[in-house]
Chains A and B, each alone.
Chain A
Amino acid sequence: MIRLVIIDDEAPARLRARTLVAQYPEVLQLLGEADCARAGIELIEALRPDALLLDIQLPDQSGFELLAALSYQPMVVFTTAYSAYAVKAFETFAVDYLVKPLRAERFQLTVEQLQQYRGAARTIDMGQLQDLLEQLRPPRPPLALPIKKRDRIVLVEYGDIAYLKAEDKYVRVQLQDGSSHLLGRSLSQLEQELPEAFARVHRSYIVNTALIGEIHKYFKGRLILQLKDREQSSIISGASYTAAIKQLIGWT
């Protein structure tokens, strides 16, 4: 008999899992259910089940964090809404993985797997698993820059930014429409974060290259970048950045 706990934050999903588990009364014994990681840990530590039907996305913590917090290593069957392709990677870490909605035929395989692995639970390298999960998340192109103003945050779309200018300890974020925001961060820090369209053109300037209308030569190998924003800003590049700018726009 494999003693089992279901952890899932969605009631219908729990219901579905419960229904499936009930179809194998001679193999599986359902000890309890939990709808968040905290309740789940309490339940598991109290009942010490052999296996978990564990949802990866829980409201308070992830399923991985729940596993890491346990004092022992039960068998784990992940249930997730991730695509089947992405979840394949979990194979090495868990007894099985199930993509929602759980299907009866597929669940039979899971039951067989559980019986097979019984007493030989795999040790799971949580760190590795976490990294894997990060990789699996499709990298979202950043869309906006959060700007904190006292207790509130405004999101400024990257496309709306004309240029960023270092001012003392702050960075002035100049928008296309002529308005600007002050940001308490460093330009170098931002340079790492900003999307590819942004290029450092001066020690104290980062420019949205999508807005460059014209480029003129200036003294000492520097360039004048004429932006197409409302103010028609023109920014003089630093000499050391000239080569990079030229490369960026394919000017040889």
Chain B
Amino acid sequence: MKKSFLYILFLLLFVNTMNLWRSHYPQASIAFSKNGLQFTELNKTELILNANKNEVFILHEQAQNISRLYKVDSYRSSTNGVTILTNEFPYNEQEEQKLVVRAINGQFLFQDTLRYMRYEDRLALIEPAEQFRAWRLLQHEDQADFFALLDQFPLVVLPLTLFFFFLIWLYDSLTSLLHPFWKKSARHYVAAALFLLATLVLIKMATPEALAASKVSALVRILLIFSINYGLFQYFKNQDFYGQEFVKFVFFFLILLNVTMACSLLVNRLDQAIFGTSPHTMLNNYSQTLLPLEALHAFSFALANLLNNLRKHIARLQSSEQQLEYTQQQALASQAELKALQASINPHFLYNSLNSIASLAQAAPKKTEQMALALSAFYEYATNREEQHICTLEEELEMLRNYLAIEKIRFGERLQYQFDCSEAAKACQLPRFLLQPLIENAIKYGYNPDSDRIEVRLEAAQKNGQLELRVLDEGRPFSEHMAMGYGLHSVQKKLKLLFPNKHQLEFINAPKKQVYLCLIA
């Protein structure tokens, strides 16, 4: 989201500035003279200049519809433009005529011009044309130096990329800093405001000549680029199109480049259609002038974006390292917690059991023995010498039988219990000592006055890798305001530690009152 805005801003500041500047150069008034004669306002002029040999070829259409190619020996720059001194024409009459006719009809571009020339001449022209461009930029040293640099030195990608990178970084940190204060819509507004501001600055910066010709087209171009890029960016973002950083980089670059190119050319055509601007502007020589420039910017921006993502990735890695340390500490804490939980049998149980044993000792030695043995076996299991936290349901059932044997001596025939567990379920694993608190609760709250019984039933079934356990009793339904006792608390703690996010514990009243527990293996 934020990056798209950032990208648009850069696009505005660099690519469009470039376009504005460039599009006004060919339209700047250039005065030239033949043998001292002054000409002005060359609207449909194609300049092919040979600075190297001090030769300039000019295809000139005068008001009287007369155009010629001239050879120029020298030129002089002034505040009004460039004054060029011409000499004779080096080609034969016939060839010249063709060029002139095509130029007047507005049909050809720079490349077309070259096609009508001899091969050597073409070669001679290509290089000098570039050099003239460099020379021309030097004429506007203070403004154009930077762009000249861009054109001349691909190495400029490096500083440009760094520049973009730091800006993106700055923007990233600023937005994350402002995050709690900013609603998303607020960011939209700010971005829009910046966008407008940039547009105004651009228009202000453009020279009056450029403004006169293409104020509207500049705006149109900006808006067009803005909307198309924004749409594309959002689209790809939502599609989660580029997961991989490299793919991201390539697509970012290509999208930027293509859209910018398309916009520039389209707006140029609009320029031509609306204002009748000649297609023979430097802008039309797209592949030689603006394309490398825009490619450079797109590349830099994409690279900067890649760098920034890399930076974020590294930061994330670092924090995940800390996270790991934290989890390890948590795991240690969990171990300690589990240890503590292991022994969390309701102390009343032992107390009650011992009371019962004491009460029974004299009158019922047989029962006393049974109870003491069951209690011993129960605590043998509870002591957990091997410090295992997981056991099979089979083992749990054995423990529960001991537990229930004790309770049955206390409560007599009133307490009825039943296990209904499938063989598959019995082999399933679950946290050790998980079921005892649930059974204890079922006994505590499971008294049914109508039948005068405490009926506890444990059901276990295995389904699609899930162990489903149900502890049913016939007591009063669970209250909406039920409290969690320590028993239930220990159950939930164990589940959280040993089956994190893979368990479900519910208290169900209908159709049958039950505690429902589901464990996902």
Contacts and interface: CB of A to CB of B under 8 A. Distances in A.
Interface in A119-168: 140, 142-144, 146, 148, 151-155, 157
Given A146-B481, A155-B488, A157-B492, 11 more contacts: A16-B359, A16-B360, A59-B454, A100-B359, A101-B355, A140-B483, A153-B478, A153-B482, A155-B484, A218-B181, A226-B180
Contact of A155 (B348, B482, B486): B482
B510 interface: yes
Interface stretch (B33-41, B48-56, B459-467, B500-508): B500-508
Contact of A153 (B348, B414, B485, B507): B507
Contacts of B359: 12-13, 15-16, 100-102
A30 interface: no
Interface stretch (B208-216, B225-233, B390-398, B405-413): B405-413
27 contacts: A12-B357, A13-B355, A15-B364, A16-B358, A19-B363, A35-B414, A36-B447, A38-B452, A60-B447, A101-B355, A101-B358, A101-B359, A142-B484, A143-B483, A143-B486, A143-B489, A144-B488, A144-B492, A146-B482, A151-B509, A152-B506, A152-B507, A152-B508, A152-B509, A153-B506, A155-B492, A234-B180
A90 to B, nearest CB: 19
Nearest to A16: B359
Contacts of A60: 447, 449
A9 interface: yes
A151 B411 contact: no
B505 A155 contact: yes
B484 A144 contact: yes
B277 interface: no
Contacts of A224: 180-181
Task: Pick from A12, A35, A140, A146 the residue with the most CB of B within 10 Å.
Answer: A12
Task: Pick from B180, B357, B409 the residue with the most CB of A within 10 Å.
Answer: B180
A249 interface: no
A142 B483 contact: yes
B411 A9 contact: yes
B355 A100 contact: yes
Nearest to A99: B355
Contacts of A11: 409-412
A81 interface: yes
Task: Pick from A13, A38, A216 the residue with the most CB of B within 10 Å.
Answer: A13
Interface of A: 9-13, 15-16, 19, 35-36, 38-39, 59-60, 81, 100-102, 140, 142-144, 146, 148, 151-155, 157, 177, 216, 218, 224, 226, 234
Contacts of B354: 101
B517 to A, nearest CB: 12
Contacts of A144: 483-484, 488-489, 492
Contacts of B352: 10, 81
B480 interface: yes
A13 B356 contact: yes
Interface residues of B, number: 45
A226 B177 CA distance: 13
A35 B180 contact: no
Contacts of A234: 180
Given A10-B411, A13-B355, A15-B360, A140 B454 contact: no
A236 B360 CA distance: 64
B506 to A, nearest CB: 5
Contacts of B501: 177
Closest 7 CB pairs of A and B: A16-B359, A144-B484, A59-B447, A12-B356, A12-B359, A151-B510, A153-B507
A195 to B, nearest CB: 12
A140 B507 contact: no
B153 interface: no
Nearest to A218: B181
A113 to B, nearest CB: 21
Given A15-B360, A16-B358, A81 B447 contact: no
A136 to B, nearest CB: 15
Contact of B409 (A12, A39, A146, A151): A12
Contacts of A153: 478, 480, 482, 506-509
Nearest to B364: A15
A224 B181 CA distance: 9
Interface in B468-521: 478-486, 488-489, 492, 501, 505-510, 516
A19 B362 contact: yes
Interface in B401-431: 409-412, 414
